[in-house]
Amino acid sequence: MSSEHAGHSAEGSSFPEGGGPAERLRFLLRYAVLAPSRHNTQPWLFEVEGDEVRLFADATRALPAADPDGRQLLMACGAALVNLRVAAQHFGHTISVEVLPGHRADGLVARVRLEERWASTPDAEAMFHAIPLRRTNRLPLDGREPPEGLLTALLREARRERVSLRAVEERGRRAVSEIVAEGDRLQWASGRFRAELAAWTRSNSSSRPDGMPGYSFGMSDAAAFVHPLAVRFAGAGRAEADRDRRRAFGTKALLVLSTPGDAQAEWIAAGEALQRVLLRATCAGLYASYFSQVIELPDMRLRLREAIGERGVPQIMFRLGYGLEVRAPPRRPVDDVLRGFDATPARPQPLALCAPPAPPPGPGAATGARPAVAQPGSAAPIR
Ligand SMILES: Cc1cc2nc3c(=O)[nH]c(=O)nc-3n(C[C@H](O)[C@H](O)[C@H](O)COP(=O)(O)O)c2cc1C
């Protein structure tokens, strides 16, 4: 991966050294928005006030079919927090993050405060430079082994967020790849799932700043043009299942991130761990792609857990490998996700622990202004 093919332009202008904390935080958000998110929904909103930035889950970008509990939505927010931290360190700051416990009707996920000066390290610098280079790569990956010692480094990154990372061993591969294939067949049989996926699938020439253009799947302009229609109306489940079975079985590194339980705070931690692992893997020139079907379907999640002998709750499964460079999918500019900016210092606010639970986003959520995420305990527990 060479940096000239980065595609993302977060480094476009320089850090406002002479500016106040609010200007600095606004600049750092350029890196936060480069985090991955299911279907590239980019389900985050920010408010900057003085030296504080508040991160909100944007329920108008929820995926009721693929992600009914908002679990992956919060994972994406967790990934954005890591980018913010890593970028802050590069530009000479540290941040303190207060993750909210999930009782908030307004969708507030975290309060982040820009702290004192902080010297970066070579290690942190490598992670920073990986932010715009990290990419989901759905193309075939080649057969080269990841470098010696990488898995240990990835385990360490996950553990920093108190999340466990497990490599699916050779003997479990057959069973896991069958679960992957069955997950594909089940999801693609659902018209709701396909309609939602189609709504986030874009042509190669789309000017929309979100969703997945056909080039993310290696498609020509012509194929990408008809792709949303094909997703909506054609049952490609069998082809998807065959391809994903092969990929899960044949990849050199198939990894699962798991948390002890399945609470909202753990979803955020899983997203933080994922992003740390991805950035570390990107430093080594590796790409990732995901098998979310095995987590999104409760039965498949249980079966995966059994097949790999995991005591925790699997949050995401992905493969890592080397491959051809892929073009960066679009991102919403910071101005689109920054819904409040006030350069005067934030007043300390009490934590709102007791706000009444919000109802889950209904059919009108796409137009509603209330960003709220699923309530604690709403996820189907895995036991
Ligand atoms: C929690 C999570 C789950 C994801 N699941 C899938 C998946 O099942 N299949 C897939 O192709 N991509 C998946 N992705 C990748 C996103 O589609 C991708 O991050 C997005 O399109 C932006 O592209 P980028 O990662 O190259 O920036 C997932 C990403 C996240 C954060």
Mean predicted confidence (pLDDT) in 221-246 = 90
User: In CATH, what is the architecture of 150-189+235-321?
Assistant: 3-Layer(aba) Sandwich (3.40)
The lowest-confidence range among 65-69, 262-266, 329-333, 358-362 is 358-362
Pocket of ligand 1 (CB under 6 A): 36-40, 72, 75-76, 79, 135-136, 138, 212, 289-290, 292, 316, 329
Interval between CA 286 and ligand 1 midpoint (Å): 15
All residues at 6 or more sequence positions from 118 whose CB lies less than 8 Å from its CB, including other chains? 88, 89, 92, 93, 94
Residue with tokens 């949303």: 228
From the list 96, 49, 52, 104, the residue with the least C-alpha distance to 74 is 104
pLDDT one-digit tens code per residue, 310-330: 999 999 999 999 999 999 999
User: What separation in Å is there between the alpha carbon of 13 and the centre of ligand 1?
Assistant: 27
Please state the atom number of ligand 1 nearest to the C-alpha of residue 292.
Answer: 8
| Cα(264) to centroid(ligand 1), Å | 19
Instruction: Report the pLDDT value the prediction gives residue 243, as an integer from 0 to 100.
Output: 95
Each domain of the chain, given as residue ranges in start order, spans: 3-135+329-366, 150-189+235-321
Secondary structure class of 112 (helix, strand, coil): strand
Same fold yes or no, 3-135+329-366 and 150-189+235-321:
yes
Write the residue with the smallest CA distance to atom 3 of ligand 1. Answer: 38
pLDDT band at 346 (very low <50, low <70, confident <90, very high): low
Homologous superfamily of domain range 3-135+329-366: putative nitroreductase (tm1586), domain 2 (3.40.109.30)
Provide the Cα torsion 202, 203, 206, 210; round to 10°: 20
Query: Which atom of ligand 1 lies closest to the CA of 138?
Result: 11
Which residue lies with its CA nearest to atom 8 of ligand 1?
Answer: 292
Q: How large is the angle between the packed helices 170-188 and 298-308, nearest 10 degrees?
A: 180
Task: Indicate left, alpha or beta for 256 from its phi (over 0: left) and psi (-120 to 50: alpha).
Answer: beta
Q: Which ligand 1 atom minimizes the distance to the CA of 137?
A: 26
